[in-house]
Chains A and B, each alone.
Chain A
Amino acid sequence: MHGRPRKSLKQEDEAALSAKAEKLRSLQSQFLVNHHNHIYSKEALDLSAKLLEINPECYTAWNYRKLAVQYNLSNSESNSDSDSAASIFDQELKLVENALRKNFKSYGAWHHRKWVLSKGHSSIDNELRLLNGFQKADPRNFHAWNYRRFVTAVMKRSDEDELKYTEDVIGDNFSNYSAWHNRSVLLSDLFKRKAEGFFPKEKVLREEYEHVHNAIFTDPDDQSGWFYHLWLIDQTVKNDTPLLVSSWPSHGSNITLNENNYLHDCGLSLLNSTLSDTRTLPVILYFNQAVEGINSSTVAVKSEVLQEDLVWKPLSTNNSSTAQIWVAYLNLNNTELQLSKTYSIEITIGHSMGIVSSNGYHYGDPSQITFKLCVQTAFKEPVEGQCAKLTSWKDNDFQKIDNFEESHSTVSADHRIPTTSNWCMEEIDEEITNFRDLLSDCKIGKLTLARLLTALDLLSPQHDKRKYHTEEVLKLYTDLMKLDPTHSLYYKDEHSLVLLQQITSSGESLLPHCHYYKNATETNTSYICLRLQNLSLSRMGSIQNLLWVQMLDLSHNELRSIEGLEAMQLLSCINLSHNKFGSFTALGPLRLLKSLKVLNISYNELGSHSIDTRRYLCSSPLAHTEVFAWDRFEILCGSFSATKFWEAFLIFESLNLMDLNITGNAVADENFTSFIVKVLPTLKWLNGEELS
């Protein structure tokens, strides 16, 4: 019951209503009798019409009408009377019209009309006239708009004419989101097929900006133009072509591996990390959008250390065959690497066709990554297996780095920026001026300005970094949090992304956040931890600039998720303590980190929430992306209720953690602790204490 006031009825109204109910009930039951007995007489048809005019939502009655049409047609066909066919259908159209006047939102009525017209006996020409009437009465009715798209397609009315129609509707009243929406649909189509006058799209977009300004600047609180404007920005700056954004190893880098003679298996470890023991090296490709088709024919690798073709895997949390990040493992097990010799590895991406985005765009210009590999001997005390020491995350275990040395060349802030046209920069510049001059003190003005400035920075060449607008954008988001508290966490998330963009944009900006970890400083090369703790981050981002990180401190922030973190394939230690993680499924990306050994998730909100917001963003049986390992689960679960810990099981089962801290979470009771110890047989340290 939409929009009907809550009040008790007067007695006479009640009586009238009850009489109406009685009448309708009798109509419905008589109708059902006719329907079940296939009675399609004139009386029966009149009865169903009466019913539908009172209650157009009675879908079975529409079905009955269709059966009746079919029945009556097959009878009249034998008389070969085409006029009577037309009149049968006309009756239906008339009935639909009456029903729609009763209830403009009846799905059944609209579909019945479409069904009638699709039979081809009725003229389509009246339909637009009828629609124009209906759409004047209710310009936002989405049934009418859907029907309009159907009718114009049947009539083969041009997109240009329909564009003109939306213009007229918007001219009457700009506050018509439905019309703006339809405009975006029509323009997308015209752009796509490069229709005359719509390609190149520069001129059209320029006019559209003008057009939508009328709406936004007239009433900035009216949302009708907001989303259309954002769409125009996207149309202006968007690069459809898939491109490589970053990689690990990065182009031109030198990777030093440590040969540790103390270990029986002659383990090679990366960057003195005592935590990685396999003689394999990840190669990570990070694209600007999800792509498919990464394999040995689209990505060529040249190197003397290479024994076999690399096997590329999409890094996706849902087993998709397309992904933004692809990884391959360079296997050095069978390679005799000579000490102090430098090996060169050359990777060419996209030299042959086959890398395609989900929208069907092919990879842009072929790109190349060349890096060097050398091996040195590590002088290290023999260690009792791995993780002999508990990883402490205390401030005094970290030591500031004054400047990066050559051995830090893995620390890269290299990211590629596609060249953009001047037109695009000019357009964004002009929008910035417009919004600064006219709308800088209201919500949508500030938000749009922040987005425009961010877009401009992304388009600007990297050497112009000094001209970046980060500080201004951060201030805009801070203002917005106060101005529009209802959505403050949206602005906070955006603020976090911009802040991370700023921190990770160069080696210089990263340096204050890079620390030596004390346990490692005793040896000849240095173990770097990226410390992004205590920054009020509510969201993680700029991960494409952090592919080199092995030890990451994100503690004391306000993070709820670590979406995208799976790209950090070198990560072996992570501190997520004192954040807002509310469920195990939020840790989903960790499952793809094969080197992860140390996880501190203490003092979060695990077990405190009844609603899990990551439930469907994590691969699981609920989303049909994973088969549940019942046998193992049941053995481990023992007496616990099977449904209690499935999320924890799902996340931790595939990890090889040695050090886990989970204290300070509602979930971490005794039952859980004994369960998790069974799920993680590799565990040596739990909640800061050594397991016996």
Chain B
Amino acid sequence: MGELAAEKHVRYILSIEKKKDSFESVVMEHLRMNGAYWGLTALDLLGKLDTLDVDEVVSWIMSCQHESGGFGGNVGHDPHILYTLSAVQVLALFNKLDVIDVDKVTNYIVSLQNEDGSFSGDIWGEVDTRFSYIAICCLSILHRLDRINVEKAVKYIISCKNMDGGFGCTPGGESHAGQIFCCVGALALTGSLDLVDKDLLGWWLCERQVKSGGLNGRPEKLPDVCYSWWVLSSLIMIDRVHWISKEKLIKFILDCQDTENGGISDRPDDAVDVFHTYFGVAGLSLLEYPGLKPIDPAYALPVDVVNRIFFSK
């Protein structure tokens, strides 16, 4: 088994900014805020966040904020809860949460809660349990969880629970590992994991590990490095991670590295991107791979960042 090509991944992440004109960068331009979160969190886990110009990042983030308080995916793009969380997470990484008007961001998120407890992604009303997680995580980081109706929010998430113990986007929606992370994460952050059927869900989740050691996101699907985060963090939050083989998964992730040019892909020998590089590194961190900072499974931020938010006065 190979080793983590940490230095190459750092170089790869730093190089993305220089390839702004590639077709991929243009296609992903509208979600650069997510990209920033993936890249910077991966850098932090690799212990190399200090190579960046903090002020430059912070001022770019702030230029994506709208009057409503929400953040867009890039300068000029509309505000959406997806990018608002990424913005807040990146600011938390840099210990720069003091640059935002907390009440303004809070008001934006609060305004997106619906009568049934669910959350819309923006003013156009798409409802999804992803947005429930985002709202709860974001407000929790800002110490403003009391501003929403948590009880209703939890109830809505539970209404999306399925026969396999997993969760879907909306009531009746099929279980999907990414969605399960969102729902289990939201329940974790609200102290409601007693409402999860941990053994049933744990069995479904651990059966996501396929022969190659990789994890898939739904039954009878191909494995993908990104599920090293979604499945693994969910298994950790419900304390069932010992039900899979960690060694096999580590090997799978390492096999997806581009050992020449850095970066990690969805499956071995596919093209790398920052999304899978982050999820690969974060997955290895959850697997206690040596040399990486530990990451918190619910806040999706390094443990030291979370501790700084909650355990310093």
Q: How far is the CB of A489 from chain B (nearest CB, A)?
A: 5
Interface of A is mostly: helix
Chain A residues 644 to 690 lying within 8 A of chain B, measured CB to CB, are 646
Q: Whole-angstrom distance between the alpha carbons of A610 and B190 in the complex?
A: 23
A611 at the B interface (CB under 8 A): yes
The residue of chain B having its C-beta at the shortest distance from the C-beta of A616 within the complex is B188
- Does the CB pair A318–B258 fall under 8 Å? no
CB-based contact A32/B298 at 8 Å: no
Closest residue of chain A to B304 (Cβ to Cβ) is A643
Contact call A318/B265, Cβ cutoff below 8 A: no
Interface residues of A in 1-40 (CB under 8 A from B): 1-7, 17-18, 20-22, 24-25, 28, 32, 35-36
Distance of A642 Cα from B304 Cα, bound (Å): 12
Interface size on B, residues (CB 8 A): 95
Q: Are B220 and A224 neighbours in the complex by a CB distance under 8 Å? A: yes
Q: Is the C-beta of B46 less than 8 angstroms from some C-beta in chain A?
A: no
Which residues of B, 11-27, contact A by the 8 Å Cβ criterion?
21-27
CB neighbours (8 Å) of A75 from chain B are none
A59-B30, A223-B220, A622-B310 as given contacts; A489 in contact with B242, CB under 8 Å: yes
Is B218 within 8 A of A140, CB to CB?
yes
A623 to B288, alpha carbons, bound, how many Å? Answer: 22
Quick one: which of B288-313 are within 8 Å of A by CB?
288, 294-299, 303-304, 306-308, 310-313
Do A66 and B124 contact each other (CB < 8 Å), given the known contacts A1-B273, A6-B272, A223-B220? yes
Contacts of A318 in B (CB 8 A): 191-194
Complex interface residues of chain A between 177 and 230 (CB less than 8 A to chain B): 177-178, 181-182, 184-185, 188, 222-224, 226-228, 230
CB-based contact B162/A142 at 8 Å: no
Contacts of B128 in A (CB 8 A): 107
Tell me if A319 is interfacial: C-beta within 8 Å of chain B.
yes
Pairwise interchain contact A60-B191, C-beta atoms closer than 8 A: no
Contacts of B243 in A (CB 8 A): 487, 489-490, 493
B63 is an interface residue with CB less than 8 A from chain A:
no
Residue contact B163 to A21, C-beta cutoff 8 Å: no
C-alpha spacing A616/B175, complex, angstroms: 22
- Judging by beta carbons under 8 Å apart, are B191 and A115 in contact? no
Smallest Cβ distance from B212 to chain A, in angstroms? 11
Which of B47-55, B92-100, B105-113, B199-207 is near enough to bind chain A?
B199-207
Are B76 and A36 neighbours in the complex by a CB distance under 8 Å?
yes
A interface size (C-beta, 8 A): 87
Residues of chain A within 8 A (CB-CB) of B244 are 486-487
Given contacts A222-B220, A610-B294, contact A486 B248 (CB under 8 A): yes
Shortest Cβ gap from B160 to chain A (Å): 11
CA separation between A226 and B175, bound complex, in Å? 14
A609 within 8 A of B: yes
Determine whether the beta carbon of B271 is less than 8 Å from that of A1.
Answer: yes
Residues 66 to 125 of chain B near chain A (Cβ within 8 Å): 72-73, 76-78, 80, 122, 124-125
A61 to B193, CA, bound (A): 38
Q: Does B255 contact A (CB under 8 A)?
A: no
Q: Give Cα A36–Cα B78 distance, bound, in whole angstroms.
A: 10
The answer to whether A140 touches B221 (Cβ under 8 A) is yes
User: How close is A473's CB to chain B, nearest CB, in angstroms?
Assistant: 16
Contacting pair A28 B174 (CB below 8 A) = no
> B residues within 8 A CB of A28?
26, 29
Partner of A614, one of B25, B203, B239: B239
A627 to chain B, nearest CB (A): 11
B168 located at the interface, meaning its Cβ lies under 8 Å from any Cβ of chain A in the complex: yes
Contacts of A4 in B (CB 8 A): 270-271
Say whether B58 faces chain A, with CB atoms less than 8 Å apart.
no
Minimum CB–CB distance for A107 against chain B, Å? 7
Pick from B140, B164, B195, B237: contact of A624, CB under 8 Å? B140
**B310 neighbours in A (Cβ, 8 Å):** 621-622, 628
Q: Is the CB of B271 within 8 A of A6?
A: yes
Give CA–CA (A337, B216) in the complex, Å: 65
| Cβ B271 vs Cβ A5 within 8 A | yes
CB distance from B280 to the nearest CB of A (A): 13
A114 to B169, CA, bound (A): 15
Q: Is B170 an interface residue when CB atoms closer than 8 A count as contact?
A: yes
What are the residues of chain B within 8 A of A316 when measuring CB–CB? 194
Instruction: Name the one of B126, B173, B288 contacting A609, with C-beta atoms under 8 angstroms.
Output: B288
Please, how many angstroms separate the alpha-carbon atoms of A623 and B272 in the complex?
Answer: 35
Residues B194 and A142 in contact, CB atoms below 8 Å apart:
no
Interface flags for B157-169 (1: CB within 8 Å of A; 0: not) read 0000011100011
Nearest CB on A from B290, distance (A): 9
Could you list 10 A-B pairs, sorted by A, with CB under 8 Å? A4-B270, A24-B26, A60-B77, A611-B287, A614-B239, A619-B191, A623-B193, A642-B311, A643-B304, A643-B312
**Chain B residues engaging chain A, CB cutoff 8 angstroms:** 21-27, 29-31, 72-73, 76-78, 80, 122, 124-126, 128, 140, 145, 150, 162-164, 168-170, 172-176, 188-195, 200, 202-204, 206-207, 209, 218-221, 224, 236-245, 248, 258, 265-267, 269-273, 276, 285-288, 294-299, 303-304, 306-308, 310-313
Residue positions of A touching B, CB distance < 8 A: 1-7, 17-18, 20-22, 24-25, 28, 32, 35-36, 55, 57-60, 62-63, 66, 107, 111, 114-115, 140, 142, 145-146, 149, 175, 177-178, 181-182, 184-185, 188, 222-224, 226-228, 230-231, 234, 290, 316-320, 358, 485-487, 489-490, 493, 560-561, 563, 609-611, 613-617, 619, 621-625, 628, 630, 642-643, 646
**A140-B220, A228-B163, A318-B194 known; 5 other A-B pairs, CB under 8 Å?**
A1-B271, A24-B27, A231-B164, A320-B192, A486-B245
